[in-house]
Every structure is written in structure tokens, then in C-alpha cells.
Chains A and B, each alone.
Chain A
């Protein structure tokens, strides 16, 4: 649809990642006039990123065009750098400015939060379940029907088999379960079609480049599914390479009237809208709310509660690797699959809380020979013995990557850097991360559990962090949530259960910052389901005339 200066959009969405993309689709399909504002350009699958082919043959071209890595990867080639201020224990801030956002480089892991995970939310699992189903069908999620209590089954395409190393870890888990330990080992669930389906994105061909960027668009991204669908309705205007620089308020200062943005040519313009949806991510959304201070909202708009930027949490972890001598004889042929992790250790302390720490973790498990991305490359020595060990470790290993829910506390939050500004003159976000005793205790338990599983499976532990310290923990800088959380009480939350600001009735949030509490599961599927739900509630509010 043509965008003119005079157009007042029904909804303006900032950010085209998993949350923003699905909102654009659901809202545009309903007939609302939608503007989608994305700071980055549109990248073409298979052209702007393509990890297929010979590294040696492509090396010259890659280096010549200024890329630092020999293999094409959306993340390495396009992610933002030097765009925030880290404070404390090495926090990261994943930011990819491109149409589709970080859905271009996500692994596709699509796990439903379970009924127990919603205990501290203002909405229940049953309220979100229908949106999980819609999301899974649109995304094409594969998986097994595992029948687990707190990771409910979804609308799955046929599952993808586990590799040898993952099967051996499952064996270890089964043996420990027989001794009374409570845990489950299941196949991963990911958003890529495994069989011919009505949606007609390409069926996965198991090349394993999912996170580098799926060059045939089999893996679900915002850019390859909801945004094209939204464009076909004629109700979506796309503003790429456009950075929101200000949120505009109406005359009385209590409702949003639009945004100011700078386009790729540096020109400043405005978009007027009846409703604004922020879907920037859990660092950028609170940042923009904090940047926009007004007379009515001196601590940042929508921040009467003072909770904008607080309640920050993410996943963090460590890796333990096992060596399985019995795999020496196996035929190492094609282990690519749907990227590295095909197995998942889960159901740890779901309904029997661990006495030593609060919260839950899961362990993503991968194995197999991927010589272009060696799982094990820290082999000492040189010569024939070294060479043999290099191959053997990669053929015979299985590795276990912890993903634990970071304890949410006053020590973890996002605020503004008083000194550093970006090229638009806007303050950098500061991300504060300090690991605490609870986080350390969880990591210790994970190491113990993983070592136990590897040994029970008949393997030897070849790589383990040993004694845990904050310095060894790795943050998942793409999994931040919680900084603009939903809740029933306007004093302790920023949004109501419809993801609508308590303070500003025409301001909504569509990214994972809305999470009221975290689970060990990957956030994207829940982000998409919640944004879908928010969009439907928004449509209903439009029908009732709340924004006219």
C-alpha cells in the first residue's frame, strides 16, 4: 500500500523479528492498515547469505568483500557490534538489523512452555495453547509426540532422527531413570518442514546450515512467511532501513500519536498511527521507553511502575562433552541434519524443585562429525597422533549444552548509558549481568547430571568445566526476556495480560520482553504465540472502537 505523509496507520509495528513479523501478518489479515518499521535491509536467502558449497572455492570472494569468516553466516556477517554497554559478567546483546531480525539466524528450536511455567504469569497455559497451535502450523514445526507434562506436544510434522551420539546419551538417561532419577531425553522440535505441506516453504534438505541462515528458506523466519503473507493482503506498508528515533505523544501526553524515524538516506520523517506496537527485543524495547521521557512520564513512557528494564533474565550455560569409544567403528557419513542439536535433556526438577537452587534448566545435546564446524578442536599436540585424535573426537563425541533460566533479581537489568550515544544521538543501552549463588548452584548441578549421564551411557567425560565460577558461565545473548513484563498489578508490571501498557492504552509490546517469568525452554515459539494473542486482542479492541 502506498504510504503517504497524510496516512494515519491503524497500527505501527517497530521491529520485524519473530514477534513483529507475526503481528504484521495477523493485523494486516484482519483488514487493519499496518506499518512495519525495520532498521535493517531485506536480505535475500541464498544470495546475501549462503553457506552451501566449497569453502576453498568461495574463500577469495568472501575475503575480498571484507568478511572476516570463511563461511557465510547471517550472524557473523550482519549482526550489530559496539551497540551497547556491558556491565558485570560479560553480558552480550544480540541484535540483527535485517528484515526478519534474529529469526534469520535462530536455530528453530520450538518448545512450548508448560502449565507449570505459567504459574507466575497472569495468563495460563490454556489461554496460550491455541496460539501455540496456530504458530506451529504456520511455522511448520517438527517433533515427536512425547507426552511430557510440562512441555506439551504440539501440531508437529514428522520428527527428525537423532544421531548415534545422541542415542547413546538417551541410553544413559534411560539407565538413570531405571535407578529412580527423574529426567527425559527427547528429540528436538524445530521450525522447518520435514514433509510436503500446504504452506510450501521448501522442505528441509538437512544441510545443517540453519543458524548460518537457511539459504532455501525452509527454516521459518519472519521474512519468509508472515511478512510476505501480510504484504499480499495489501494492508502492510514496509519501512526497511528505517530507525525509530522518537516516540511521539498526542497533545495531552497520555497516548502515542506516532513515531519519528530516520530512513536509509538519513532523512527524518514521521509515521502517524492509532496504535504503536514495540517489538524491538528485550534490550531495545525498554531502551526506547526509557529514552522517551516526557512531562507526564519523567522516568520514560509507560514506566509509572518503574519496572521498565527490570526483571531481566536470559538463559546461561556451560558445555560438557563425552567420548564414546564404541562409536569408533561407525561409518561417519552425513551428520549435518538440522544443525547441531538433535537431542534434548529435559523434565529436570519440573515438579520436584531442586533443594539447591530455584528454577529449571534443560540441556541441548548434539553429536556427530561436522568437520567444517569442529565440536572439538582443542586437541593438544601435533603429528599423526594429533591428527587421529582430531577425527576420533569428532566422530565419537556427544556434547551437552546447558540452558538454564537465570535467576531474575535486582542485580540484572537494562538502563541507559549516560555517556555513550549511537549515531542518531540516542543513549546506548547498558546491560547489567551479575551471576549469583543460585546461578552457580544450578550450573554445578548440570555438570554433575551431565557427567553422570555420559558415564551411565558407557562414555568418558572428556571436556567439563570442573569447578563453576561466574567467569566460566556463558550468557545466551539472544534469549533475554522480562524487561517489560506483563502482570495484573500496574505497580509491579509494565503491561497488562494483553501486552498493553498499563499507562498508555494505545501502546503494546510484541517481543519477548513481555514474559512474566522464564522457563528453561527457548523463547521464540512463546514470543510468537504471545504476539499472535496480543494481535487478536488488539483487533478486538479496534472492533470495539477503542482506538477510533
Chain B
């Protein structure tokens, strides 16, 4: 068979693409997670939420994904930073979040006569349980807020480097010379 992709083309292709190639490979190296300076989410000052709202969101997220002996929780992962930053730039979603937090406070006041952050751990557990009722088919505003809160919490958690590294055990997004794939003989029979 005639090999249409002939010698001239190969040299041409190298000249056209080769120059940019080294630079881009270097840029890819530079973008490895390990070489990026870690983002300081702990000292972040919220821009959308008030300090109290931010603490409330922080606590709610931690109830959804708590720190435990398996790995960091939402707080350590930087989830509140992520949520505040997204909402800061997403005006369309802001009202539903403010409304949702107001609904949480209303529920806390009605049940326990306190703001959410001053509720005991048991009381907060009871509140999140109420919020999580009917997750598959939310009806009340509080239930709908839980679905929204949880979705963004999962997104933020899974994008977080501490969570990816220290909980999921993810070692990807890097440069490999070979892709090893499955190395377990027992999976291959």
C-alpha cells in the first residue's frame, strides 16, 4: 500500500508543530498539581456571604461531608471558599442561596429557639436530617435548598486537592510516559 504520509510531510509536520511542542510540554509540566502553590482557603474572607452566613454554610457542608479517620471533610477541603467564590460571580444563583439560609435559620428558631450556629451538634444533626428528607423528590423550600447545597458541596469537594489527594487517593492529572492500566492478574481472568 502507498504510504501517503510520506517523508516530506513528516519533516514538514515536525517543523510546523515541533517548535510549539517543547513549549507546550513544558507548560504542561508547569501545570502539574504538585508544582502549583497551594491555595490558602483558610484565611479567605467571604465576598458574597456575610461572615455569619459563611460560617453557617461551612458548618452545613461539614455535616454533608464530615472530617473523619478516612480523610478531610468539607471545611478542610476548602469547600466554603469554593461556594462563596462561585456565588460571588453567579448573580443568578444568589437569591436562592440567601433564601435557603434564611429558611435554615427559620427552622432552627422554630425548633430550638436559636440561630443555627448556636444549636448543639445534636440539634444541627436533626436540622440537616429534616433538610435531607425527600432528597430524591424535594418538596419544601428547605428540602430544595439541601439538594442545591449538596450538589455544590460535592462538586467543590471533588475538585479540592486535599480531598482528591488525601481522601480519594487520586494521583492523576500528571504526565505519564506509559499508562499502566490494570496491573492485577486476578482482574484479568
Instruction: Decide: B31 and A50 in contact? CB cutoff 8 A.
Output: yes
Least CB distance, A28 to chain B, in whole angstroms: 12
Residues of B within 8 A of A167 (CB): 182, 184, 187-188
Interface string of B143-174 (1 = CB under 8 A from A): 00000001000110011110110011111111
Give the docked Cα–Cα distance between A387 and B181 (Å).
26
Q: Does B173 lie within 8 Å of A224, measured CB to CB?
A: no
Q: How far is the CA of A229 from the CA of B16 in the complex (A)?
A: 7
Indicate if the CB atoms of A161 and B9 lie closer than 8 Å.
no
A164 in contact with B187 (CB, 8 Å):
yes
Within 8 Å of chain B (Cβ to Cβ): is A3?
Answer: no
Pick out which of these stretches binds chain B: A268-276, A330-338, A470-478.
A330-338
User: For residue B18, which residues in chain A have a CB less than 8 angstroms away from its CB?
Assistant: 200
- Measured between alpha carbons, how far is A395 from B169 in the docked complex, in Å? 10
State the Cβ distance, A185 to closest chain B Cβ, in Å. 12
A161 touches B182 (CB 8 A): yes
CB distance from A59 to the nearest CB of B (A): 6
In the assembled complex, A225 has its CB within 8 A of some CB on chain B: yes
Tell whether B132 is near chain A: CB-to-CB under 8 Å. yes
Minimum distance in angstroms from B158 CB to a CB of chain A: 4
CB distance from A176 to the nearest CB of B (A): 15
Of the candidates B37, B150, B180, B189, the one whose C-beta lies within 8 Å of that of A171 is B189
Contact in complex: A198, B10 (CB < 8 Å):
yes
Quick one: which of A168, A170, A386 contacts B65, CB cutoff 8 A? Answer: A386
A382 touches B132 (CB 8 A): yes
Determine if B173 and A207 form an interchain contact, defined as CB atoms under 8 angstroms apart: yes
A133 touches which of B1, B63, B159 (Cβ 8 Å): B1
How many A residues touch B, CB cutoff 8 Å? 79
A56 touches B9 (CB 8 A): no
Whether A216 lies near B161 (C-beta < 8 A) is no
**Binding stretch for chain B, among A98-106, A315-323, A373-381, A430-438:** A373-381
| Chain A contacts for B5, CB-based, 8 A | 134, 137-138, 198-199
User: Does A332 lie within 8 Å of B39, measured CB to CB?
Assistant: no
Asked whether, in the complex, the Cβ of B24 is within 8 Å of the Cβ of A202, the reply is yes
Interface residues of A in 96-139 (CB under 8 A from B): 130, 133-134, 137-138
A6 CB within 8 Å of chain B: no
Query: Do A331 and B169 touch (CB < 8 A)?
Result: yes
Closest chain A residue to B164, Cβ basis:
A371
User: Is the beta-carbon distance between B172 and A370 smaller than 8 angstroms?
Assistant: yes
State which of B20, B150, B159, B169 has its C-beta within 8 Å of the C-beta of A55. Answer: B159
Q: Which residues does chain A contribute within 8 Å of B154, judged by CB atoms? A: 374, 377, 390
B2, B13, B172 — most chain A CB neighbours (10 Å):
B172
Q: Given contacts A52-B28, A371-B170, A374-B158, are A59 and B3 in contact (CB under 8 A)? A: no
Q: Decide if B179 touches A160 in the complex (CB within 8 Å).
A: yes
A208 within 8 A of B: yes
Q: Which of A175-223 contact B (CB under 8 A)?
A: 198-202, 205-208, 215-217
Interface residue from A46, A133, A200 paired with B14 (Cβ < 8 Å): A200
Inside 8 A of A337's CB, which chain B residues have their CB?
A: 179, 181
Inter-subunit contact B28/A46 (CB<8 Å): yes
In angstroms, Cα B135 to Cα A322, docked, is 23
* B68, A206: Cβ atoms closer than 8 Å: no
Interfacial residues of chain A within 294-350, with CB under 8 A of chain B in the complex: 326-327, 330-338, 342
Beyond A54-B161, A331-B169, 12 extra complex contacts between A and B, CB < 8 Å: A54-B36, A59-B82, A130-B1, A171-B187, A198-B10, A199-B14, A200-B21, A225-B17, A229-B9, A231-B16, A338-B179, A371-B164
Chain B interface residues toward A at CB < 8 A: 1-5, 7, 9-10, 12-18, 20-21, 24-25, 27-28, 31-33, 36-37, 39, 41, 63-66, 68, 70, 73, 78, 81-82, 85-86, 88-90, 128, 132, 135-136, 150, 154-155, 158-161, 163-164, 167-182, 184, 186-189
